[in-house]
Homo-oligomer: A and B are copies of this chain.
Amino acid sequence: MKTYQEMNAAELAQERAEVQAHYQRLKDLNLKLDMSRGKPGKDQLDAISDILTVLTDPADCICEGMDVRNYGNMEGVPAARRLMSELLGCRPEECIMGGSSSLALMYGLVMRGYCFGMTHSPVPWSRVEGRKWICPTPGYDRHFKITEVFGFEMITVPMLPTGPDMDRVEELVKDPLVKGIWCVPKYSNPDGIVYSQETVERFAKLEPAAPDFTVIWDNAYCVHEFDGDYLPFPDIIGLCREAGHPDLVYEFCSTSKITFPGAGISAMCSSEANLNYQRKLLGVQMISYDKVNQLRQVKFLKNKENTLAVMKKHAAILKPRFDCVLHWLETEIAPRGLGHWQTPKGGYFVSLYTLPGLAKRTVALCKEAGVVLTDAGATYPLGKDPQDSNIRIAPSLPPVRELEAAMEVLCTALEMAALEQMG
């Protein structure tokens, strides 16, 4: 097959007629499909139903002498701290438990930095005129929104196949106004890139000018392989400790995509000095998080080995969905030269880079045909993709049959957008 660039006028005209007719046929199907968010599908939720019955008796609610049904113990159930630290490779005492949302924990961290300052802040971030935050792009829209509302100028840094461009990062942190960076180190959102060992080590060795520079290490997909075995990943907390920068990083994770999305448990990990500081501020915020649910998750997941077995069940459900997306891209988009993408082995997304200037129009055409995608641009700060190229595909929610239809729409929409652009 020729790429559109290689086609002559007559060939393009014929392609245009075919694509338009194809798009119209798809529109006539009145589809209503959603590939916008990394929501697990019903089969994934059903796969972990046993968690509903691990706590049924009052006696089940006592864990190592702690009655999880009562107030208290802000830092969480010790067994939960051990489980989460085992998943991440850090120490249990470097891990405190949160509620059902790791995003809320991250928001809370930035909020407290803004209102009260971090462990080593000379002043709260709210009082730093011209404060800045590094945003590797494309990235997670909800991360960017947090630093947006707290008034940070967001400096983008490109994602390389090894992670964020560390030359740029090391340069940027020389500015004391630069207060932090967003990272999704394993199966990055949306590219599915795994930071290389070298990248992780360069993070641990960062020497920022700001004493309160904060690496937010959102390890959202720490055990979330859907293709192949669990990939061991370095423990950033330990590396920072060894590098003499113990207070540089806060790591986050949750069981949202291990058990129930939005009804799991989350954790915040950092040096003990940082956690002691945060605990004091958190103590004003609340008495304790939901320890009953913490114990429920522990009783169901048990340990890392069993958690990885649970993740294999999720993988078996997710893999065919990703295969479907990639198959459509490889057979429809690659031959026409309309875009490129990474091939992820974990995480929840496929990140499609169209030829420049096509993303917004493609997403709009999909919407017209009943297929909802993440807004074009959402993977960039302020929703502004300078190339208008990146589209985040979230294939986890629809069954494969629906995905087939949705991907047919997406590919046809991209072809239409490209042909329109060629005039």
A419 to nearest B CB, angstroms? 36
Question: At the interface, yes or no: A19 with Cβ under 8 Å from chain B?
Answer: no
Residues of B within 8 Å of A68, CB to CB, are 263
The answer on a CB contact under 8 Å between B145 and A284 is yes
Taken together as a complex, chains A and B put the C-alpha atoms of A168 and B186 apart, in Å, by: 58
B291 touches A69 (CB 8 A): no
Which residues of B sit under 8 angstroms from A104, Cβ to Cβ? 285-286
> Which of B107, B111, B281, B287 contacts A262, CB < 8 Å?
B287
1/0 per residue, CB under 8 A from B, across A36-63: the answer is 0101101001100100110111101100
Which residues of chain B have C-beta atoms less than 8 A from A262's C-beta? 70-72, 287-291
Question: Are A57 and B67 within 8 A (Cβ)?
Answer: no
Q: Which of B46, B261, B287 is close to A71, meaning CB atoms less than 8 Å apart?
A: B261
Q: Please give me the residue from chain B that is nearest to A292 by CB atom.
A: B263
Q: Determine if A114 is an interface residue (Cβ-Cβ < 8 Å).
A: yes
A341 at the interface (CB under 8 A from B): no
Contact B56 A261 (CB under 8 A): no
Q: Which residue of B lies closest to A46 (CB)?
A: B58
Q: Are A42 and B56 in contact, with the CB atoms below 8 A? A: no
B290 near A37: Cβ-Cβ < 8 Å: no
Asked whether A214 is an interface residue with its Cβ less than 8 Å from the other chain, the reply is no
Kindly state whether residue A231 has any CB partner on chain B within 8 Å: no
Q: For A57, what are the chain B residues with a Cβ–Cβ distance below 8 Å?
A: 49, 52
When distances are taken between beta carbons in the complex, the residues of chain B under 8 Å from A316 are none
The residues of B that contact A116 with a CB separation of less than 8 Å are: 149
A126 to chain B: which residues have CB within 8 Å?
A: 115, 126
Q: Decide if B149 touches A70 in the complex (CB within 8 Å).
A: no
A92 to chain B, nearest CB (A): 21
Q: Is the CB of A70 within 8 A of B45?
A: yes
Asked if A101 is at the interface (CB within 8 A of a chain B CB), the reply is yes
Q: How far apart sit A261 and B115, CA to CA, in the bound complex (Å)?
A: 29
Q: Which of B49, B103, B287 contacts A287 (CB 8 A)?
A: B103
Partner of A72, one of B39, B58, B293: B39
CB <8 Å contact, B45 and A284: no
Q: Does A370 touch B at the CB level, under 8 Å? A: no
- Chain B residues whose CB sits within 8 angstroms of the CB of A103 once the complex forms: 285-287
Complex formed: what's the CA distance from A344 to B115 in Å?
A: 38
A32 to chain B, nearest CB (A): 15
- Which residues of the partner chain B approach A290 to less than 8 Å between Cβ atoms? 99-100, 262-263, 290, 293
Complex interface: chain B residues within 8 A of A45 (CB)? 58, 61, 67, 69-70
Interface assignment of A233: CB less than 8 Å from any CB of chain B: no
Q: Do residues B107 and A286 form an inter-chain contact, with CB atoms below 8 A?
A: yes
Q: Report the Cα distance A100→B67, complex, angstroms.
A: 16
Asked if A4 lies at the interface with its beta carbon under 8 angstroms from chain B, I say no
Of A45, A60, A70, A115, most B-chain CB atoms within 10 Å: A70
Q: Which residues of A line the B interface, CB within 8 A?
A: 37, 39-40, 42, 45-46, 49, 52-53, 55-58, 60-61, 67-72, 99-101, 103-104, 107, 111, 114-116, 126, 142, 145-146, 149-150, 256, 260-263, 281, 284-293
10 additional A-B residue pairs with CB within 8 Å, beyond A115-B149, A115-B150: A37-B71, A45-B61, A49-B58, A56-B56, A99-B290, A100-B289, A100-B290, A101-B288, A103-B285, A262-B291
